[in-house]
Amino acid sequence: MMMWSNFFMQEEDRRRAAAAGRRRARGLQRSQMTPEREGKIKLVLLLTSVGATLAVLAVGTEFWVELNTYRDNGSAVCDAAHLGLWKLCTKRLWQADVPPGRDTCGPAGLPGEANCTYFKFFTTGENAHVFQRTTKKEVNVAAAVIAVLGLAVMALGCLCVIMVLSKGAEFLLRVGAVCFGLSGLLLLVSLEVFRHSVQALLQRVSPEPPPAPALSYEYSWSLGCGVGAGLVLILGGGCFLLLTLPPWPWGSLCPKSGHRAT
């Protein structure tokens, strides 16, 4: 009797081991990614990496907007300024270097005597002053916080897609798609909030002497990088989201052509 019981127990163990092996094989087969699908994911990841590069370049530089005084001041020099989310730079330019036909001083990229300072919104809470005008720190801080939040969500999206490619965790692809789309939207919202901060700066004129000079403003290349980054990230998130959809709707819309039987 003992021999038969051992025989049945061994048979039961073998059946359980075989069933577990079949389940593992099916799981590996489900998690295995086809080369075509992996290529599509890598292509969209390359697209989003362009958006990520533009986003980091935009947030890290201070050429979001240029503030320019007018040239008819009776002097050989004129003043200009440019600022971003973190830093304000004022410049004194020679009027001979300003392109002819331009009424205002600038562009700020011309060589000149520069003075750059970081905003004190995040340390002492002080407003910045430029050309007898005062920033509205609450709006500037909001723009910076939203931009940093967008970068953090974008980094989370990159991590999700890397996990999809390295570990085969395809359920994270939808999470990455949402992260990229949300990061692009946050960057665009940050640009709009920054635009409101520029309007607030121009309107907050100090009543103390000397009188505030007339200013013109123009948005610069850092803000253009931000706009491009937001749009590219939203596009990349949409492409990732399309890759998570089942193939049958697209197969019914675009059926494959086959040979007819004769």
Per-residue pLDDT of the chain (262 residues; tens, 9 = 90+): 445 455 445 666 666 666 555 555 444 444 567 888 888 899 999 999 999 999 999 999 999 999 998 887 777 888 899 999 999 999 988 888 888 888 888 788 888 888 889 998 888 888 888 888 999 989 999 999 999 999 999 999 999 999 988 888 888 899 999 999 999 999 999 999 999 999 999 998 887 777 888 888 999 999 999 999 999 999 999 999 998 887 665 455 555 544 444 3
- Do residues 116 and 62 lie in contact, with contact meaning Cβ atoms separated by under 8 Å? yes
Range 163-182 burial, b when 16+ CB lie within 10 A, else e: bbeeeeebebbbbbbbbbbb
Q: Parallel, antiparallel, or unpaired for β 77-83 and 65-69?
A: antiparallel
How far apart CA 166 and CA 26 sit, in angstroms, is 19
CA separation for the pair 58, 230 (Å, rounded):
10
Pair type for strands 133-134 and 129-130: antiparallel
At 260 the three-state DSSP class reads coil
Q: Which of 217, 227, 212, 214 is nearest to 108 (CA)?
A: 217
Encoded amino acid at 37, one letter:
R
Q: What is the pLDDT of residue 4?
A: 46
pTM of the predicted model as reported, rounded to 2 decimal places = 0.80
